[in-house]
Chains A and B, each alone.
Chain A
């Protein structure tokens, strides 16, 4: 026998369940007084650099019904394409932009909204710039392992055409599943968990 690599194995995931709000957005579900506010509820302030945008996201199940008990987290670069993270070695990100947000889907409509800024471009591993994008992580009852995907922007056609991740999608007909439609200052994005329009989810 060879030496052991002494590796551990990742803890297996379990669903966030129907009561994920209690843990992650307690104020949203009526548990007040424990935390001053729900983490990730506000992403921008007056000093944040960049173009203000809104995101209107829904998550639809295999029948096309919006999930009303899901929770979405987003993670993005600042207006200059820098992440507010120790792993960002190219420079200091905007101190007025944390880059991470968390919102539940509305319990009646299933709509999930974020007020944020449009991110700048971040280089891929080959040094070329990726198109502006926001990383999404979706959890809910019935989802056994949090789903990763990205939101790209419909008004960035040229950048999208040169994006190294979008380029990896073999079935080109699925590329639009990752592109949010611009409507004024708002981008509308439907995540389809199943069906013909199933969103491209990531294993990265």
Chain B
């Protein structure tokens, strides 16, 4: 699947901005217990991106199925739909320069309206919805915009503390243009009091950083008598201009 772009823009080949690791959760967040034995203890090796980090795969719109961005229907029996609060999630993928990222593959997954995942390792009491699988995907347009339709996931208890509950959330996996931009994160919902009690959320040290993961209710983007809307922008690492870099020919 080589990149087919209709534009004659020169591809960007600059290295990505240094990642601010104090803005992300640290590797070790003891209140999220699983991190204790899964967190590297030695300092990572730092180096400026090489082509191996700057380059990345391109996914074409042709791979998408008609219902990929419609979790209400992509697993449902014909004529039926998933149970729950119908919502539209929309936004843009930008980079740290504020530039929209076109052609970004977004994959998302979530629990059903009762807080239950369709997974053999999830034994929560809430029932499975026979019409809800819980996965979807899309690719951003020219301005970095995207949208999908789903039901609002329920909160659920999880084995960490004796009584920890995850806030309602949707997992996002994002491909930018370079493999060094690869990111997985979670989207939370405005007004959910569980956000501020969650050990996974609270692994992020800065309250302002947490707030960037909370989608805003947008009544202007709703579909009347059908679905409410939440707006969620995602920011990937920015990239340096390579114009004045002194590199040997061919690099």
Chain A residues close to B by CB (< 8 Å): 6-24, 26, 29-31, 33-36, 39, 61-63, 67, 69, 73, 75, 77, 83-90, 92-93, 95, 98-100, 122-127, 130, 133, 135, 137, 139-148, 150, 165, 168-169, 174, 193-194, 198-204
Interface pair B55/A22, CB less than 8 Å apart: no
Total A-B contacts with CB atoms under 8 angstroms apart: 283
Q: Please give, as numbers and ranges, the residues of chain B lying within 8 Å of A73 by CB-CB distance.
A: 182
- Apart from the given pairs A62-B36, A135-B52, A143-B38, 5 other A-B contacts in the complex at a CB distance below 8 Å: A8-B96, A23-B134, A34-B74, A84-B57, A174-B42
Interface pair A26/B39, CB less than 8 Å apart: no
Q: Please give, as numbers and ranges, the residues of chain A lying within 8 Å of B201 by CB-CB distance.
A: 14
A93 to B3, CA, bound (A): 11
A99 to B51, CA, bound (A): 13
Q: Please give, as numbers and ranges, the residues of chain B lying within 8 Å of A193 by CB-CB distance.
A: 37-40
Sample of 25 A–B contacts (CB below 8 Å): A8-B97, A8-B238, A9-B96, A9-B212, A10-B236, A11-B235, A12-B23, A16-B173, A18-B121, A19-B121, A23-B108, A24-B109, A34-B75, A75-B55, A83-B51, A89-B250, A123-B51, A123-B251, A144-B24, A148-B53, A194-B38, A202-B47, A204-B46, A204-B47, A204-B53
Interface pair A22/B109, CB less than 8 Å apart: yes
Interface pair B52/A7, CB less than 8 Å apart: no
Which chain B residues (192-251) contact chain A, with CB distance < 8 Å?
200-201, 203-204, 209-210, 212-213, 234-238, 247-248, 250-251
A130 to B119, CA, bound (A): 41
Chain B residues close to A by CB (< 8 Å): 1-3, 5, 11-13, 19-21, 23-27, 29, 32, 34-42, 44-59, 63, 65, 67-68, 74-75, 94-98, 107-109, 117-122, 133-137, 171, 173, 177-180, 182-186, 200-201, 203-204, 209-210, 212-213, 234-238, 247-248, 250-251
